[in-house]
Amino acid sequence: MTHETAQPDAVWHGLLTLLSASLLACSGSQDAQSNDEALTEAAAIPPGTYVLHDGDSGRLSLLVLLDDLTSYREEPSTPQCADADCEPFGLFELYSWGRLEGFDYLRFYEDDGTFKESYAFTVEGDGLRLRKSKTHDWFEMVRAPEAWCENEDYCQQQAAPNAPECGSGAAWSCEHYTCKSKCE
């Protein structure tokens, strides 16, 4: 009798082990959590200004990715400027991206290279789907119709959507944290 009852216990143990491993894989527990984990080449993230998709809730409300691998981001709880002359409240950081265990990750770093956090991502059309590591909730960000800037260099480094179409005399200005094109 003990042999017959031991066999179902072994089967249940095997099923629970398999189920636990599956749940861990789906939950993102294998997420890129440190700078020590080597990432391989992943889908390229187009530089630009991304905003939270209408009706979506996410951990980021604004994400600006520049060609020089610097970024600016705001969370929904980030205080907003009451007037156009105030300093931005978001985070200026370095970023990188890569692939680990079948997922693409966007990693953020302090200026000194210290790892801060990562997000799994997929590039979808002109937007991004993101999920903060160790969480389950994906959110969508779309390319903003106007690029965010702190200065004119930001406009050039993100292929701003409202690029000047006036030939060699094209220039940018940064007015109230928005890239504006101008022809000289």
48-145 to CATH, choices 1.10.3210, 2.40.30, 2.30.30, 2.40.128: 2.40.128
Distances (CA, A) of 6 to 11, 19, 36: 9, 20, 43
Each domain of the chain, given as residue ranges in start order, spans: 48-145
Amino acid symbol at 22: S
What is the pTM for the complete model shown? 0.71
Distance, CA of 56 to chain centre:
15
Q: pLDDT digit of tens for each residue in the chain (184 aa)?
A: 443 434 444 333 333 233 333 333 333 445 555 545 666 776 788 899 999 887 667 778 899 999 899 999 988 776 665 555 556 667 889 999 998 888 899 999 998 999 999 999 999 888 999 999 999 999 999 999 889 998 888 888 886 655 556 665 567 888 888 888 776 5
- Residues linked to residue 63 through DSSP beta bridges, in sequence order: 50, 73
3-state SS class at 12: helix
